[in-house]
Amino acid sequence: MQSKLTFLGAARNVTGSRYLLETCDVKVLVDCGLYQERQFSGRNWGPFPIPPNTINSVLLTHAHVDHCGLLPKLVREGFRGKIYCTTATAEIAKIILLDAAHLQEEDAEFKKRRHEREGRKGPHLEIPLYTVADAKASLHLFSPVEYGKPVHICDGVEATFHNAGHVLGSSMIQVAFGQGNEKRTIIFSGDIGRFNGAILPDPNIFNKTDYVLVESTYGDRLHEDAASIDDNVAEIVNSTCKGRGNIIVPSFALQRAQEILYHLSNLLGQGRIPHLMVFLDSPMAASITEVFRHHCELLDHEADRQLCLSGALFDFPGLKIVQTIDESKALNNIVGTIMIIAGAGMCNGGRIKHHLVNNISRPESTILFTGYQAAGTLGRQIIDGATKVRILGQQYTVRAKIAQIHGFSAHADKDELFRWLSGLVVAPKRIFVTHGESEVAEKFGEFLKEKTGWEVSVPEYGEEVLLD
Ligand SMILES: [Zn+2]
């Protein structure tokens, strides 16, 4: 039987990762992510392009919502197979999917009440995309795997998960399919991490494969060196402490929050910053940090693994976890410099908004950005230099210092993507550039063709390709 690959998401855009491999009479879905770009969000709500009950297995690269966020809907609509992923990914996905479902329920309820008040009906039904019960049902199907150990999917199909170095538990998945002379391999890159990153090992390198899907989020950009992060953080903390302001850090709950704690712990240990109170104001980030503590074996350096086992790697005197909203609000009353790490990472929701309200007009405070700020978000307005911003319905003048550290990115840049592909000593039959904005993916594809002479394409949404 001819094998076929269909691009059902993250094709000429960044989110909604979803690829279908049909081979040996089975259908294997790699990732089942939520679309986060506004113009594609309708695809979250529509029916799946193939009936979920005809899919045999799901292979999940990692726990970011744009890779796993539609699994509860897939299961509600009939999928009953196994969802294979690493143990750490399963543990983090549990936290992330339950939180996403909870937010979906809250949003639907909020919309319903608003429409009732306004006496109108919205264009869509006021129902959640999926519920907490749906998310729980999907968690029963998770089947944890180990890095490097081939998993038997069915006769003639085997999947092996390799470390991607992107976030804890993240994988690149190599699938071997077909029989005898017709045996082929395909690598799904998932999101590719940095080389020489702070905590996780470098992405796994492959020297041979027939097909590759390579992500291209930053296929047109070069990042700052991760080694500069300690210097940058120390400089910002020291200057803000001197001015007696606060340091407000919008952060993603997965990987970024833990990396910030890791750098603070290092700097304190080296005496490069003064002891200050640091509040991790995100119960989700705190739960994910616990998963890191259970998986010290996944860290890159022996010294870090030891510190992790002793509990010191993501902890230090002065660090407090904030659980309730009331505790969060009470932080406003503290006099003297404190650091608050809170979500959402792009300031488009969550507790960070309250802390911005209290600090954005104080010239002695610093708003420290550590992650990508998408167009249209409050975070993007602030780093673009807006002098006035609207937060929670009120206008505020921006007087705080605005700082940004670029070295934190969890994605490989253009050179690192090329370095990853350069491991291949034999030309693959074809490379598919995915998971990047259309122009970025095109540009990176052209660059690859020029450098290697390999067969490279940038697939469209819904495109089907026969794998011979
Ligand atoms: Zn990711």
User: How many whole angstroms from 190 Cα to the centroid of ligand 1?
Assistant: 7
Q: What is the pLDDT of residue 79?
A: 98
Residues 253, 345: Cα–Cα separation, whole Å: 8
pLDDT band (50, 70, 90) for residue 31: very high
Please give the average per-residue pLDDT across 354-383, as a whole number. 93
Q: What's the whole-model pTM score?
A: 0.94
Residues 211, 430: Cα–Cα separation, whole Å: 5
Residues 22, 32: Cα–Cα separation, whole Å: 16
pLDDT beyond 90 at 352: yes
Q: What is the pLDDT of residue 115?
A: 84
C-beta neighbour count of 396 within 10 angstroms: 17
Residues 347, 354: Cα–Cα separation, whole Å: 10
pLDDT beyond 70 at 309: yes
What mean pLDDT is reported for the chain?
Answer: 95
Q: What is the pLDDT of residue 225?
A: 82
Element (H, E) at 433: strand 430-434
User: How many whole angstroms from 166 Cα to the centroid of ligand 1?
Assistant: 7
* Higher pLDDT, residue 165 or 37: 165
Q: What is the pLDDT of residue 164?
A: 98
Fill in the DSSP letter of residue 363: T
In three-state secondary structure terms, 349 is coil
Residue 148 buriedness (CB in 10 A; 0-12 / 13-18 / 19+) = exposed
Check the CA dihedral 77-113-396-368 and report its sign. Answer: negative
User: How many whole angstroms from 461 Cα to the centroid of ligand 1?
Assistant: 19
Residues 369, 402: Cα–Cα separation, whole Å: 8
pLDDT band (50, 70, 90) for residue 126: confident
Please give the average per-residue pLDDT across 116-141, as a whole number. 88
Residues 315, 39: Cα–Cα separation, whole Å: 40
Residues 347, 462: Cα–Cα separation, whole Å: 33
User: How many whole angstroms from 111 Cα to the centroid of ligand 1?
Assistant: 29
Please give the average per-residue pLDDT across 414-437, as a whole number. 97
In three-state secondary structure terms, 339 is strand
Q: What is the pLDDT of residue 39?
A: 85
pLDDT band (50, 70, 90) for residue 46: very high
Least confident of 179-183, 336-340, 424-428: 179-183
Q: What is the pLDDT of residue 279?
A: 98
Alpha helices, H only, 245-361? 256-269, 283-294, 302-309, 325-330, 352-359
Place of tokens 């030309």: 427
pLDDT band (50, 70, 90) for residue 319: very high
pLDDT beyond 70 at 124: no
In three-state secondary structure terms, 111 is helix
User: How many whole angstroms from 214 Cα to the centroid of ligand 1?
Assistant: 13
User: How many whole angstroms from 411 Cα to the centroid of ligand 1?
Assistant: 8
Q: What angle do CA 49, 50, 53 make, to 5 degrees?
A: 140
| CA 188 to mean position of chain CA atoms | 16
User: How many whole angstroms from 62 Cα to the centroid of ligand 1?
Assistant: 7
In this predicted model, what pLDDT tens digit does every residue of 160-214 receive, in sequence order? Answer: 999 999 999 999 999 999 988 889 999 999 999 999 988 999 999 999 999 999 9
Counting Cα atoms < 13 Å in the Cβ hemisphere of 457 gives: 10
User: How many whole angstroms from 162 Cα to the centroid of ligand 1?
Assistant: 15
Please give the average per-residue pLDDT across 112-141, as a whole number. 88
Nearest-10 crossing angle of helices 283-294, 87-118: 170
Please give the average per-residue pLDDT across 275-292, as a whole number. 97
Q: What is the pLDDT of residue 280?
A: 98
Q: Note whether 253 and 343 are within 8 A (CB).
A: yes
Q: What is the pLDDT of residue 123?
A: 65
Residues 403, 368: Cα–Cα separation, whole Å: 5
Residues 161, 372: Cα–Cα separation, whole Å: 27
pLDDT beyond 90 at 125: no
Q: What is the pLDDT of residue 252?
A: 94
